Amino acid sequence: MKTLQDYIDKLNRLNFKEMYNNDFFLTWEKSDDELEAVFTVADALRFMRENNISTKVFESGLGISLFRDNSTRTRFSFASACNLLGLEVQDLDEGKSQIAHGETVRETANMISFMADVIGIRDDMYIGKGNAYMHEVSDSVKQGNADGILEQRPTLVNLQCDIDHPTQAMADALHLIHEFGGIENLKGKKVAMSWAYSPSYGKPLSVPQGIIGLMTRFGMDVVLAHPEGYEVMPEIEEVAKANAEKSGGSFTRTNSMAEAFKDADVVYPKSWAPFAAMEKRTSLYGEGDMEGIKALEKELLAQNANHKDWCCTENLMKTTKDGKALYLHCLPADINDVSCKEGEVEASVFDRYRNPLYKEASYKPYVIAAMIFLSKFKNPQEILKKLEGRGSRRIFE
């Protein structure tokens, strides 16, 4: 049986000091020890909650959320993470703010941060915009803190940008760590990150990019599969190649879903928009060309329709390792004859993996809470020990 001390002992063996008072933008900007520290703290916090130990490290303070795209799982995961640590969540609704009246990013960032300890942002729709905006917010509050305007520097957590979806990829990785019995057991496992058909267009690139950018860190054999014309950002492919070379894994690309699925231990069929199309859409929005956007949407829907055979079927799943590959998805999936007529996955496959999928999603609140925790405390091991020693219960007994 695990104890909290086991997690503390593990943290004592890791070097993650640079995470203190720092942000979380992209997984490939973090060291192996820093990633493992996130997994370890996430597991420790989950252990404490399951054992009715209060994890409230804040008596007051705000977690500010800004979602520029729709969200269910990540929105509630961020709120759960903040609440787990004792922070109250306040959503920044840009339509009800002064942003529409010309308020600058620097001003908005400081005005919302007087008592904020963390800012979580999802800005994933426009190439070259989302991650850059997050950095501008971070720089603004850092300067506000340095100038004595803000009593504390809020941590910024990337809840999905145009480049990466770190909280999703880290939750997926923690799910795999538990499914395969340890991070060391991921080495040599084959992951098929595959494009799949969707009757909608414009889905962000950040999930497939996040997966190839992270899973290659663990010595896994990662295959990126997509039809011709559905490429991701070339620089992220270079990140994946470099990671694989360092970890002893591999990174390859194919235009065959069948090839990717063959003997795979893990499959991740998920639709995304072509990188070139996302760049074009960003330009059209910047120019205010709504007719151009409508034409692009029509073009991309027609392009998608040429690849309806890119679907996670029972027959494809039979070709995976022992016919039992773990099926992953960030949700919601486009399910055949359920959420759409034709989509990413057959209903029977999805139904068989429904519980593992929900379990996969359940790691995200703890991953986000761990990112916040490691940024806010110089010695998180000591804080975990104090929480245990305090003896406060989450539910009164």
From the centroid of its chain, how far is CA 17? 22
**Residues 255-280, mean pLDDT to the nearest whole number:** 96
pLDDT at 1: 83
Per cent of the chain over pLDDT 90 is 94
Domains belonging to the chain, first-starting first, are 4-164+364-390 (3.40.50.1370), 168-361 (3.40.50.1370)
Phi-psi region of 188 (alpha: psi -120 to 50; beta: other; left: phi over 0): left
Residue with token string 């961020």: 78
pLDDT at 330: 97
CB 281 within 8 A of CB 126: yes
Q: Alpha-carbon Rg of the chain, whole angstroms?
A: 21
What is the phi/psi pair of residue 160, to 5°? Answer: 135, 125
Q: What is the pLDDT of residues 108-134, one digit of tens each?
A: 999 999 999 999 999 998 999 999 999
**Residues 256-273, mean pLDDT to the nearest whole number:** 98
- How many Cβ atoms are within 10 Å of 246's Cβ, its own excluded? 12
The listed range with the strongest mean pLDDT (66-70, 197-201, 226-230) is 226-230
CB 255 within 8 A of CB 228: yes
pLDDT band at 96 (very low <50, low <70, confident <90, very high): confident
pLDDT value at 97 more than 80: no
**Residues 302-320, mean pLDDT to the nearest whole number:** 97
If you count them, how many residues does the chain have? 397
d(CA 75, CA 139): 23
**Residues 182-202, mean pLDDT to the nearest whole number:** 96
What's the mean pLDDT when you consider all of the chain?
96
**Residues 369-378, mean pLDDT to the nearest whole number:** 98
DSSP 8-state code for residue 61: -
pLDDT band at 346 (very low <50, low <70, confident <90, very high): very high
pLDDT band at 87 (very low <50, low <70, confident <90, very high): very high
pLDDT band at 178 (very low <50, low <70, confident <90, very high): very high
pLDDT at 98: 73
pLDDT at 100: 65
d(CA 165, CA 208): 9
pLDDT at 35: 98
Which pTM does this prediction carry?
A: 0.97
CB 244 within 8 A of CB 250: yes
Q: What is the pLDDT of residues 223-262, one digit of tens each?
A: 999 999 999 999 999 999 999 999 999 999 999 999 999 9
pLDDT value at 389 more than 70: yes
